[in-house]
Amino acid sequence: MWCKLRDHICILGQARIKKVKKMSVQTEKAIERVVTEVRDMLVSKNRSYGDSALYPARIFSKADNVEQLLVRIDDKLSRIKNGHEWPGDNEIDDMIGYLVLLKIAKENA
């Protein structure tokens, strides 16, 4: 059960009350800015690559798009782990982009 007390949100449960501060406007604007940046990057890359993450050409690999995205994520994580990132790449944005595409692929499966 939720209740609102002035500028706090209370969570009521099993005879205890936990106060959680509301999100600041600053944090909300930062989230909106970062999500917009990632969206713009993802749309731009997807246009450049011809939507290949969700609709792969399947010339060599016959794996479905979900499996292919999982392989891309594994490859990206391996490069990060081993310190072999590409100059100019933003590993965090790339990972977020792959996870967004994976979410879309799973929704379409």
Domain range summary for the chain, segments of one domain joined by +: 25-108
Q: What is the DSSP string of 7-59?
A: TEEEEEETTEEEEEEPPPHHHHHHHHHHHHHHHHHHHHHHHHTTTTTTS---S
Amino acid identity of residue 106, one-letter, is K
Residue of higher predicted confidence among 57 and 14: 57
Residue of higher predicted confidence among 98 and 7: 98
Give residue-wise pLDDT tens across range 16-52. Answer: 555 667 788 899 999 999 999 999 999 999 999 988 8
Q: Which residue has the tokens 């933003």?
A: 90
